Structure 1
């Protein structure tokens, strides 16, 4: 019996590099980032992928809680190994032995998020074509009023310079500041290599994922994740 990975497309750069560096090449089922826009659709898609597996021992998830999109998944075909993180951003910003404190008023970006078919960059271009530049800037100023920064995360898996100009242009158009922060791959490498200790939850075959598997209290209400904070 083998292991497989179910991963968000936004983590392709990082997961590919983590596999190259560890030499562990598991089969990967890539799921489009668009599913993040609706936790119910994400849950249904992931459950479909779980149900379709045969002869698999463990399914490794390159996902966090992701707006509670993973809560309620049933381990129908294999054990599920799930990172105890709020979202994918936590995985690439967390440092070993440290509790991740999410920076406030920050819209997080990686190249994977920027290239998504419904990224904020795509939406901005669509709005320009539909409403014109002046109205689009007003709309996005309202949409981003609770944010102060675009943070481009340098995970080491892609050339940051190739993304910076695009981020700076959108930041200038929306009144935000651009920040570059160093990230890393250690969480994804640990997912690949194990052991799956306190940073992970193992849901045995036949079990069901609940909010406590992400280190959160069961009574805490699910929070809808914002695109760019996944």
Structure 2
């Protein structure tokens, strides 16, 4: 039996835990704090340290997408790397088997994991309020969110979405964005745990490095990031 280890972002904890329950998976998980998502270079450094620290694994299964190029450049120093061929975790939970998810333009995405994250938009708004007061905070967020019109709460099926609608409504009000509710899925995470590792995944052999080409992108491609740094 293969010795697999999962490396996962904490924002996907509800979704991954459900995938574990549905598949009866027993692979060990190394959780990575969501704070690293705000800087692809810091994320890459943290993930490389994690890869280097794993001993006696055959495959490291990443509950990550390309994540703003944060996974590009990681060296498969200790095991093969299996990575969903998606732009990021939003694309991962919004895609359907055999279909690439096309983002709704001008949309900022939320799940329970992102709402509760230390880098969530609501926490950043609260931090800005303490620093700058209401008037300046609203002005800052109007500038930062000038390219957004919508706020989408994704029902991944891994949590009670009704409990988070009020919070999403509050965020929509304070950011002047229109709230949308959409259904997501965790099939990608289930397939990450069960396989097969086909065209839906980047398979990076031990000794190789992750490239943008593994994800089907080119160096000229730009990547969406849902992080706001104050």
Q: For the superposition of Structure 1 and Structure 2, which TM-score range results when normalised by the shorter chain?
A: over 0.9
1:121 corresponding residue in structure 2: 122
TM-score of the two chains, using structure 2 as the length reference = 0.95
**Equivalent residue of 1:56, what SS?**
coil
**Inter-partner Cα distance in structure 2 for 1:45 and 1:213:** 20
1:220 corresponding residue in structure 2: 220
- Residue 22 of structure 1 deviates from its aligned partner by 0.9
Equivalenced residues, count: 227
1:81 corresponding residue in structure 2: 82
**Inter-partner Cα distance in structure 1 for 2:180 and 2:222:** 29
2:8 corresponding residue in structure 1: 7
- Residue 141 of structure 1 deviates from its aligned partner by 1.5
| 1:40 has 2:41 as partner | yes
Segments of 5+ residues of structure 2 without an aligned counterpart are none
**Equivalent residue of 1:130, what SS?**
helix
Compared CA separation, residues 224 and 180, structure 1 to 2 (3 A): closer
- Residue 119 of structure 1 deviates from its aligned partner by 1.2
**Inter-partner Cα distance in structure 1 for 2:133 and 2:75:** 46
**Inter-partner Cα distance in structure 2 for 1:208 and 1:84:** 15
**Inter-partner Cα distance in structure 1 for 2:106 and 2:225:** 14
**Equivalent residue of 1:137, what SS?**
helix
- Residue 222 of structure 1 deviates from its aligned partner by 5.3
**Inter-partner Cα distance in structure 1 for 2:67 and 2:193:** 20
- Residue 170 of structure 1 deviates from its aligned partner by 1.8
Segments of 5+ residues of structure 1 without an aligned counterpart are none
| 1:92 has 2:117 as partner | no
- Residue 221 of structure 1 deviates from its aligned partner by 4.8
**Equivalent residue of 2:193, what SS?**
helix
- Residue 74 of structure 1 deviates from its aligned partner by 0.6
**Equivalent residue of 1:36, what SS?**
helix
- Residue 158 of structure 1 deviates from its aligned partner by 0.7
**Equivalent residue of 2:31, what SS?**
strand
Residue-by-residue CA offset, 1:151-173 (whole Å, 9 max, x unaligned): 00000111111111111112112
- Residue 92 of structure 1 deviates from its aligned partner by 0.3
| 1:153 has 2:126 as partner | no
**Equivalent residue of 1:135, what SS?**
helix
**Inter-partner Cα distance in structure 2 for 1:224 and 1:191:** 23
**Equivalent residue of 1:60, what SS?**
strand
Q: Is the 8 A contact 1:68 1:224 kept in 2?
A: no
**Inter-partner Cα distance in structure 1 for 2:34 and 2:123:** 13
1:203 corresponding residue in structure 2: 204
**Inter-partner Cα distance in structure 2 for 1:112 and 1:52:** 26
Residue-by-residue CA offset, 1:185-225 (whole Å, 9 max, x unaligned): 100000000001110011111111100111112x3255462
- Residue 146 of structure 1 deviates from its aligned partner by 0.8
Q: Is the 8 A contact 2:109 2:226 kept in 1?
A: no
Q: Which moved more, 1:53-62 or 1:170-179?
A: 170-179
Q: CA RMSD in A?
A: 1.3
